[in-house]
Structure 1
Amino acid sequence: MKSIQFFFDFVSPYAYLAFQRLPKVLQGSSYHVAYKPVVLGGIFKEQGITAPASIPVKHDWIRRHTLWLAEEQGDHAFRWPDIHPFNSVGLSRLALACSVHGSINRFTAQTIFEHVWHGGADPLSPARLQALEVQLQAQLAQSTAYPLGSDANKLLLRALTQEAVDAGVFGVPAYVVDGQMLWGLDALPMLKQLIQEEE
């Protein structure tokens, strides 16, 4: 089965919106998605890019744009968290603690994305993080290769980030199909055409 490498960071609203749209894009195809969390800040550093969130006018635009996009796609639960940007590394490590083979399943990704982008609360609040771990308890219990806090878990996140950089990724969401990298929420129609041509 052919696969799409989907690189994302939970801090990115565009990655969340792309994640929500992916099933429709892939409808009718035989492609499997490998969901791979990365450290967006590490990618920016490696590629020499200034983080958009560090530029106030750009950050404000991203907020307004993504709120509008969410309404357009009927996602009425979408809310920006109280604090943004925030350090999402802990959330990515939690996701990878649910991993069996170095990528996570859709349930894990969706649970964490919704934790961040639904409701508007602080995603790093200790009480909310504890509740999130409870939601993922079954996934955590099944996956023992990359336990939370372990060196294996930390190294896997670094390796996935480097894998993205090596594939030419310079931001998220990014998709790699047959060695071709596509970037951004607005690249989803291009992704759909590409996989249709490859089927």
Structure 2
Amino acid sequence: MTDGIDARQPLWFYDFVSPFSYLLLEQHDKWPELPFTLTPVRLNDLYRHWGQRVAYDVPAKRIFTYRYALFRAEQLGIPFRMPPAHPFDSSKAILLAVALGSELTTVREIFRFIWRDGRDPSSADGFADLCERLKVPDGLELIERESTLAQLSRNCADAIALGVFGVPTFWLNNQLFWGEDALPMVLYCARTPNWLDSKEVKRITSLPSGLANA
């Protein structure tokens, strides 16, 4: 049996393949003082559902993304080291987080293993080292359990139902806030939720498309 996402609660969606998810979690002390539930999803599942092209398929965008992630890390004073190859298969790391309850300390340690130490969690040796760091000797068994696989699938389905299209994404007051650079907006809307009900926000939210095929 899987647990559905409780959309009445503040949520934070992430995938370990995302450097910006790492950078945002490293700023956890700046988040609104609310009990965000850390919710792992597969970014590729979101892309597939919404028909989005994977950013890393566009060579110039891929280069810019890596440079911008490094720039943001240096700007924020966050240790940052790219893993040996990217994108990588984050499935093992995500499933491990699911199996371990996606607790903050666990999720942060997995992110740091990948993005601070520059390790690959998808390789056999890398995953074994990650499990050793987390003191989880039965990691391979945990990620192969049907309940773990089913929970991750449920997370992805529920996230899509909420409209989640990328990571990192906050869900707060029934609204989505996407991207590491959306943190100031999250903080503002946590303090001033009625801003989203303002006349201009409502106007641009309901703008029609100017393209016939959109």
Superposition TM-score, scaled by structure 2 size: 0.80
- Counterpart in 2 of 1:173? 168
Q: Assess if the C-alpha contact under 8 Å between 1:11 and 1:85 holds in 2.
A: yes
- Residue type of the alignment partner of 1:88: S
Q: Which has the larger radius of gyration?
A: 2
Runs ≥4 residues deviating over 6 A: 138-141
Query: What are the Cα deviations for residues 7-66 of structure 1, in whole angstroms up to 9, with x where unaligned?
Result: 01000011111111132132xx3x101001100000000001001011111110000000
CA-CA distance at 1:150 after TM superposition: 0.8
Q: Assess if the C-alpha contact under 8 Å between 1:3 and 1:177 holds in 2.
A: yes
- Counterpart in 2 of 1:36? 39
- Residue type of the alignment partner of 1:64: R
Alignment CA distance shift 1:197-1:139 (3 Å): farther
Unmatched tracts of structure 1, length 5 or more: none
CA-CA distance at 1:160 after TM superposition: 0.6
Q: Assess if the C-alpha contact under 8 Å between 2:91 and 2:122 holds in 1.
A: no
CA distance in 2, matches of 1:54, 1:150: 32
Aligned residues: 185
CA distance in 1, matches of 2:9, 2:30: 16
Q: Tell me, what secondary structure is at the counterpart of 2:36? A: strand
Q: 1:21 aligns with which of 2, 8, 27?
A: 27
CA distance in 2, matches of 1:139, 1:105: 18
Unmatched tracts of structure 2, length 5 or more: 1-7, 194-214
Identical columns (%): 30
Q: 1:8 aligns with which of 6, 14, 27?
A: 14
Q: Assess if the C-alpha contact under 8 Å between 1:53 and 1:85 holds in 2.
A: yes
- Residue type of the alignment partner of 2:130: L
Matched, 1:74 2:80: no
Q: Assess if the C-alpha contact under 8 Å between 2:16 and 2:93 holds in 1.
A: yes
- Residue type of the alignment partner of 2:153: R
Query: What are the Cα deviations for residues 117-144 of structure 1, in whole angstroms up to 9, with x where unaligned?
Result: 0232333232231121122236989xxx
CA distance in 2, matches of 1:54, 1:97: 30
- Counterpart in 1 of 2:48? 45
Q: Assess if the C-alpha contact under 8 Å between 2:11 and 2:39 holds in 1.
A: yes
- Residue type of the alignment partner of 1:41: N
CA-CA distance at 1:149 after TM superposition: 0.7
CA distance in 1, matches of 2:28, 2:104: 11
- Counterpart in 1 of 2:118? 120
Q: Tell me, what secondary structure is at the counterpart of 1:148? A: helix
Q: Assess if the C-alpha contact under 8 Å between 1:98 and 1:139 holds in 2.
A: no
The equivalences for 1:60-139 within 5 A come to 60-75=63-78, 77-99=79-101, 104-137=102-135
Alignment CA distance shift 1:139-1:71 (3 Å): farther
Q: CA RMSD in A?
A: 2.0
